[in-house]
Structure 1
């Protein structure tokens, strides 16, 4: 990937082509927010569950209903990016508006970071960097890993600043500033902090080698320059819980690592970079990126910037090496795959004056328009689908205890219906208890007080899979027959027809034909 080197790494060229003009770059940044403009709430898979947790953190003190069900103990953990940002914004614009604005900021910051890094590495923004813009909506973002993707966006911005100060020789200023920046990235999400450390080390090593340093001297200097980034290790070492295995992530328990070198799964992650709604279109969207990378590798007139290409290669190596599950975090390797692709595209150095380069710029803008346009349409449709389901919340009394049971397919179909954590919005709007929250030590600060609801306390007890793949989650019929009646006032089934919950003490109070809210008759 990085065998061909751009000889002009870091040299600022004052001439600018039309795609480098400020208004074009500003338009790309604004366009990154367009898919999220229409939906009242971003239709991301895990987001409603996160919203439930943020609401509990904000409203627990003033809500006797929430205080009966939950406890929340603030602590310094490496998974707090949106947990801090959304409540701060909510004091100004309200909770749901704050959520939308904070989520919209993630793709915007991602694009800013990528274009800025391109400028610092190449001395200009190559047209190939424009192709990375739609990857701000890659699958980790669609999944709703908002703390991680926020940290990743900040990491791209930090990488641009790291390269700039390295080129300018401002090493003392960089060391002091990045000691603080490392803590910001770590608090947002430690996977983002770790990814930035990898990118910064690779960029610094590339700079040392380009300056003529031998491998030994380059490695030693890189380690010294990156030492300020290790500041969060002080906190990690001081937290006994972290040493016991608690770490940032989402959606998976377990303390160790598993699912190493699973080639079929890793191939799926690569094919899923654009995974959203229409499988054939999402897969076809990968073709221009792969072709461009092939041309850049094979053509003698094209090349790659060391300063971005080596971080891209480092992220690709991490993707290959890391397992799917690590320290309680799920989809660890999947999260890094889009970053490797984004950086690889930004690293490409096409011939500046060639007509093919101008054509590439036009085609890149067309690609961005098509991909962001499709994402906009997809999000509008997903928002309508979610609104149809959460209409049930109006029928839920404030302070109720709701057993949520949500139908899930085997194998995670390409078009995810994104309803796994919709009950979290009932927490936001009705201060209820529901069993969809994540409660993993060291990852969330939330705990459950409503222990009488066991075993239907937390994620993944709300998920119901077909019998052939039901190794996690709940069995629907067993849950309906055996859930503790004293613990719940309502049952909300999503993806099951009305009447599927066959129990004499359940009465239908709302249904839309595929989802139903039942009242538990005492």
Structure 2
């Protein structure tokens, strides 16, 4: 019953906001619309095509269009998001059950962490993969004495591959930590069979090699770089969402409860925790920021590992006082986090609603360029909902939006020629206002850009991260259509042919 209550509480922001202010979410949702409706919509079919391939970023593409058959794409996205939440909560509880041999409500402390800095980015395939990795590790622990664990692990590795490569890595780190613990616990046994069992645990991961070689993602294998800055940010993503003081309050509540339980000998820590922290720490510090052109690859790890860490704690809840105290701490943490997210999403929905109103003024099948008025914006959590908001025009107006994800090896979606030259195929940033204005009459001097000679190729322009009542940047070529405060929509005046 407490599990259902916690899930119901964390579901409130998702259920009450069909279009949550997450960075990549609406971009992914636009792709779901194209997968589901592209063959029946002439405008979508004119602009977009699908090239199905073995890509480690497909789980949402496989599930959401199926859900969309019985509802609309917004509700399908909500159902998928809630399924991610449920899978993570269940996976954390199942891992705790596998480690300690009994079910407990202690892992429900994972509920406040469902809203985290990585979730705000909207990397929905990876979020699903976190839950699946937890279930996979749980099954490995539960089947530790059975030879069937290798087949089950192989199946999970295959499924995790289609969630995200980092999801496979998360499962691998958890399994490695568990096997290190087993190796240490059986020090009195003969070394040879122990080492054979230790090495054999990694055999199912060999499946990743042929899958990668078969995948166009292998073409991105050279796009890796390590960055020291941001490692602390990755840790903060676990607990910090919008307000620092909320993160501090949640941390204080949980730490105070844990210290009280430890002082009264009610707290038990599984030996799995130490190797997990060691493996996780080493991998996190060594992992590049970008892997296979996937940005924030290292910063995604702490959030996933946090759920494994929670599963390694047990509190003796037999005493009535301890039991009631834990429930109080749990509900306080969940309510504080849900209130934080709900308040902020209600506030940010003002922009979302305004954006929906602006999209209604766009002609169906139009071509819509996105420009940043302030290139420094888009990184703060309160700005994330605007980063890809223009993709809403794909869902509502079957428009061509150049910032939709179409990178070969990362997504299955492509833009058809002759429109391919007018979209971003490298996961770059939209043009700044200065770049936009300089390329109205002439192409970029250094290298061709998809926004070159934009008056000839686009019908509308979204100017994002503007100040209220900002002036029209090019009155000769742009007609104001909608001013949303933090964004503006303009209609492009098509250039007159020479007489």
TM-score normalized with structure 2 length: 0.86
* C-alpha distance in structure 1 between counterparts of 2:249 and 2:438, whole Å: 42
Map 1:304-453 to 2 at 5 A: 304-307=269-272, 310-351=275-316, 359-406=325-372, 407-409=374-376, 412-449=379-416, 451=418
Q: Which residue of 1 aligns with 2:124?
A: 146
Asked if the contact 1:151/1:192 (under 8 Å) is kept, the reply is yes
Q: Cα gap change, 1:98/1:24 in structure 2, threshold over 3 Å: closer, same or farther?
A: same
Structure 2 match to 1:155? 133
Find the counterpart in structure 1 of residue 247 from structure 2.
Answer: 282
- For 1:267, the equivalent position in structure 2 comes to 232
**Residues 428-456 of structure 1, C-alpha deviation per residue, up to 9 Å, x if partnerless?**
11110011112322111122235567465
Q: Does 1:478 align with 2:435?
A: no
Q: Is the 8 A contact 1:308 1:347 kept in 2?
A: yes
Cα 1:395–1:458 change in 2 (3 A) is farther
Number of the residue aligned with 1:17 = none
* 1:490 alignment partner in structure 2: 460
The answer to whether 1:201 aligns with 2:173 is no
C-alpha distance after superposition, 1:235-277 (max 9, x if no partner): 22344x444335xxxxxxxx332234x1x41112212323332
Distance 1:242 1:388, change over 3 A: closer
The answer on whether the counterparts of 1:315 and 1:340 sit within 8 Å (CA) in structure 2 is yes
Equivalent in the alignment of 1:105: 83
The answer to whether structure 1 residue 45 and structure 2 residue 18 are counterparts is: no
2: CA distance, partners of 1:465 / 1:214: 65
Indicate how the Cα distance of structure 1 residues 196 and 377 shifts in structure 2: closer, same or farther if over 3 A, else same: same
Q: Structure 1 residues 365, 411: CA separation in 2 closer, same or farther (over 3 Å shift)?
A: same
> What number of residue pairs does the alignment pair up?
479
Is the alpha carbon distance of 1:243 and 1:38 closer, same or farther for their aligned partners in structure 2, counting shifts above 3 Å? closer
* SS of the residue 2:210 aligns to: helix
**Whole-angstrom distance in 2 between the partners of 1:243 and 1:121:** 36
Unaligned runs of 5+ in 1: 1-22, 247-254, 467-473
> Aligned partners of 1:215, 1:320: CA distance in 2, in Å?
30
- Provide the rounded CA distance (Å) in 2 between the counterparts of 1:413 and 1:216: 53
Alignment of 1:12-161 (within 5 A): 23-125=1-103, 128-161=106-139
Give the superposition deviation at 1:286: 3.2
> Retained in 2: the 8 A contact 1:127–1:360?
no
SS of 2:348's equivalent? helix
Task: Work out whether 1:506 is the aligned partner of 2:472.
Answer: no
Supply the distance in 2 between the matched residues of 1:465 and 1:521 (Cα, whole angstroms).
Answer: 20
What secondary structure sits across from 2:385 in the alignment? coil
- 1:4 corresponding residue in structure 2: none
Q: Look up the SS of the partner of 2:383 in the other structure.
A: coil
Cα gap change, 1:391/1:200 in structure 2, threshold over 3 Å: closer, same or farther? same
Conservation of the 8 A alpha-carbon contact between 1:209 and 1:215? no
2:163 to 188, 199, 205: 188
Q: Report the CA distance shift for 1:160/1:231 in structure 2 as closer, same or farther (over 3 A).
A: same
Per-residue deviation, 1:331: 0.5
> Normalization by structure 1: what TM-score?
0.83
Q: Does 1:220 align with 2:192?
A: no
Structure 2 residue aligned with 1:252? none
In the alignment, the residues of structure 1 paired with residue 254 and residue 382 of structure 2 have an alpha-carbon distance, to the nearest angstrom, of 22
Q: Measure how far apart 1:127 and its partner are.
A: 5.5
RMSD of equivalent CA atoms: 2.9
Q: Deviations over 1:114-160 (max 9, x none)?
A: 11211221233556433222111111111101000111111112222
Cα distance in 1 for partners of 2:329, 2:475 equals 59
Taking the aligned partners of 1:294 and 1:320, their CA distance within structure 2 comes to 28
